[in-house]
Structure 1
Amino acid sequence: MGKIALLVPREEMVYQAHNILQEKSYREKHYEISIMKVVRTRNIVTEARQAIAGGASIIIARGLQASIIKQYTDIPVIEIVITAQEMALLIVKARQILKKTNPVIAVVGFRNMFCDMSYFDSIYDIELRTFYAPNNEQLRDYALRAVEEKVDLVIGGEVAVETAAEHNVPSLFLSNTEDSLRNAFSMAESVSYAMDVEKKNAAQMETLLDYSFGGVVNVDGKGRITAVNPLMEDLLGQPRGELTGKTLTEIFPDLDRKQVEKTLTGEGEGCSAFLQLKSGSVFAILAPVLIEGRADGAILTCHKMMRKLPAEPRAGERRRTGSVIALRRFSDILQESQAMEACVHKARLYALSDLPVLIEGEAGTEGRLLAQSIHNESARYRNGFAHVSCGGLGEEEQYALLFDEDGAAARADGGTVFIEDADWLTPANQFRLLTLLRYKLRPGKTVSKDRHGDVRVMVMVQEPGQLERMAREGSFRKDLYYLLQGLSLAVPPLRDRPEDLKKKIETSIRDSCERFQRHHQLEREAMEFLLACPWPGNLYQVENYCERLILTASRRVIGRAAAERLMEELYPAESLSGKAESRENFMQQAQEGAAGGMTESRKKTQLLKALKENDGNRAQTAEALGVSKATLWRWMKKYGILEGEDSRNLKE
Structure 2
Amino acid sequence: MSGIALFVPSDEMYEQAQKILKEKDNHVIILKKIRTEDAVTEAQKAISEGVNIIIARGRQAVEIKSHTNVAVAEIVMTAQELGLLVMRAKGIVERDCPRIGIFGWGDMLSDTTYFNELYHVDLRRYILKDLEEWRNTMERAGEDELDIIIGGEAALDGAYQMGIPGIYMSSTGEAIRVALKNAESLYYMAEIEQHNYAQFSTILDSAFNGIIKISVAGKVLVMNRAMEQILGCNSEKCIGKPVAGLLSGLDEKALKQILEGKAENYSTFLTLQDQSLVVSAEPIVVGKGIDGAIISCNRLKRLDMNDKDVRKEQYLRGYVAYGTFDDISRNLKDMRKVVELARLYAQSSSPMLIEAISGPELDAVAQGIHNYSMRKNGPFIMINMAGLSQDQQMRTLFGSGNEGTGELEPGAIAEANHGTLVIQSIDKLTLPAQYNLAKVIRTKRLMRSGRVEDTLMIDTRIIACTAKNLTELRREFRFRSDLYFTLKSLRLKISNLKDRREDVEYLLNLYTRKYMEQYSRYHVMTAGAKKALLEYSWEGNSIQLEAFCERMILTVGKRAITEEYVRDLLDELYHRDTSIYAAAEAEGPDGNGEREPDENPERTLLKAVLKKYNGNRILTARELNISTTTLWRKIKKFEIDEK
Q: TM-score range by the shorter chain?
A: 0.7 to 0.9
Of 385, 393, 415, 2:380 maps to: 385
Q: 1:548 aligns with which of 523, 547, 551?
A: 551
The C-alpha deviation readout for 1:585-641, integer Å capped at 9, x for no partner, is xx999xxxxxxxxxxxxxxxxxxxxxxx98xxx96474599999999xxxxxxxxxx
Note the residue ranges of structure 2 that are not aligned, 5 or more in a row.
400-408, 578-601, 619-625
User: Is structure 2 residue 571 aligned with structure 1 residue 568?
Assistant: yes
Amino acid in the other structure paired with 2:535: A
Question: Could you tell me whether the CA contact under 8 Å between 1:44 and 1:68 is conserved in 2?
Answer: yes
Aligned equivalent of 1:430? 434
Quote how far apart the aligned CAs of 1:114 are: 1.7
The alpha-carbon distance between structure 1 residues 553 and 363, as it changes in their structure 2 partners (threshold 3 A), is same
* Amino acid across the alignment from 2:465: M
> Structure 2 vs 1, CA of residues 141 and 399 (structure 1 numbering), >3 Å: closer, same or farther?
same
Which runs of structure 2 are paired with 1:29-48 in the superposition (5 Å)?
30-48=25-43
The 5 A counterparts of 1:288-437 are 288-309=283-304, 321=314, 322-334=317-329, 340-364=335-359, 366-404=361-399, 405=409, 407-437=411-441
Identical residues among aligned pairs (%):
34
Distance 1:541 1:419 in 2: 23
Query: Structure 1 pair 560/118, CA: closer, same or farther in 2 (3 Å)?
Result: farther
1:409 aligned partner, one-letter code: I
Match of 1:262 among 253, 257, 260: 257
TM-score, normalised to structure 1, is 0.81
CA change 1:554–1:311 in 2 (3 A) is closer
C-alpha displacement of 1:287: 1.4
What residue in structure 1 maps to residue 508 of structure 2? Answer: 505
Amino acid of the structure 1 residue aligned with 2:97: N
The aligned runs of 1:472-511 (5 Å cut-off) are 472-511=475-514
Q: Is the 8 A contact 2:58 2:106 kept in 1?
A: no
1:455 Cα deviation from its structure 2 partner: 1.1
In the other structure, the counterpart of 1:529 is: 532
Q: Indicate the SS of the match to 1:299.
A: strand
Q: Which residue of 2 aligns with 1:176?
A: 171
- Paired amino acid for 1:14: Y
CA distance in 2, matches of 1:124, 1:627: 110
Cα contact 2:303–2:377 (8 A) shared by 1: no
Q: Report whether the alignment pairs 1:112 with 2:126.
A: no
Counterpart CA distance in 2 for 1:135 and 1:171 is 22
1:140 Cα offset (Å): 5.0
- 2:15 alignment counterpart: 15
Q: Which residue of 2 aligns with 1:597?
A: none
Cα distance change of structure 1 residues 226 and 445 upon mapping to structure 2, 3 Å threshold: same
AA aligned to 1:497 is R
Contact 2:321 2:370 in 1 (8 A): yes
> What's the TM-score once normalised by structure 2's chain length?
0.82
In 1: Cα distance, 2:519 partner to 2:311 partner:
49
Alpha-carbon separation, structure 2, partners of 1:628 and 1:114: 101
Q: Is the 8 A contact 1:526 1:563 kept in 2?
A: yes
1:240 and 1:42 map into 2 onto residues whose CA distance is 37
User: Residue 288 of structure 1 aligns to a residue in which SS?
Assistant: strand
Partner of 1:458: 463
State the superposition RMSD in angstroms: 3.7
Q: Is the 8 A contact 1:471 1:478 kept in 2?
A: yes
Assess if the C-alpha contact under 8 Å between 2:27 and 2:184 holds in 1. Answer: no
Q: Assess if the C-alpha contact under 8 Å between 1:365 and 1:491 holds in 2.
A: no
Aligned to 1:604: none
Q: Could you say if the C-alpha distance between residues 163 and 628 of structure 1 is closer, same or farther in structure 2, counting changes exceeding 3 Å?
A: farther
Aligned CA distance change for structure 1 residues 408 and 247 (closer, same or farther; 3 Å): farther
Q: Aligned equivalents of 2:148 and 2:430: distance in 1?
A: 108
Alpha-carbon distance between aligned partners in 2 of 1:381 and 1:186, rounded to the nearest angstrom:
63
Deviations 1:214-250 (A, max 9, x none): 1111211122222221111112223323433332332
Change (3 A) 1:392 1:260: same
Give the SS at the match of 2:107. Answer: helix
Tell me the distance in 1 between the aligned counterparts of 2:110 and 2:26: 26
Contact 1:310 1:413 in 2 (8 A): no
Report the 3-state secondary structure (helix = DSSP H, G, I; strand = E; otherwise coil) of the residue aligned with 2:533: helix
Q: Does 1:206 align with 2:210?
A: no
Question: In the TM superposition, what is the alpha-carbon distance from 1:538 to its structure 2 partner?
Answer: 1.6
Question: Structure 2 vs 1, CA of residues 147 and 418 (structure 1 numbering), >3 Å: closer, same or farther?
Answer: same
What code does the residue aligned with 2:440 have?
A: L
Q: How many residues align?
A: 590
List per-residue Cα deviations over 1:545-578 (Å, max 9, x = no partner). Answer: 222222223344433333222222222289999x
Q: Is the 8 A contact 2:568 2:630 kept in 1?
A: no
- The answer to whether the 8 Å contact 2:351/2:463 transfers is yes
1:140–1:159 CA contact under 8 A, matched in 2: no
Q: Equivalents in 2 of 1:222, 1:304: separation in Å?
A: 26
Aligned to 1:594: none
1:554 partner SS: coil
Secondary structure of the structure 1 residue equivalent to 2:149: strand
Shift of 1:210: 1.0
User: Over residues 282-330 of structure 1, what are the superposed CA-to-partner deviations in whole Å (9 max), with x where a residue is unaligned?
Assistant: 2222111111243222111122223345799xxxx99953343223333
Amino acid at match of 1:436: V
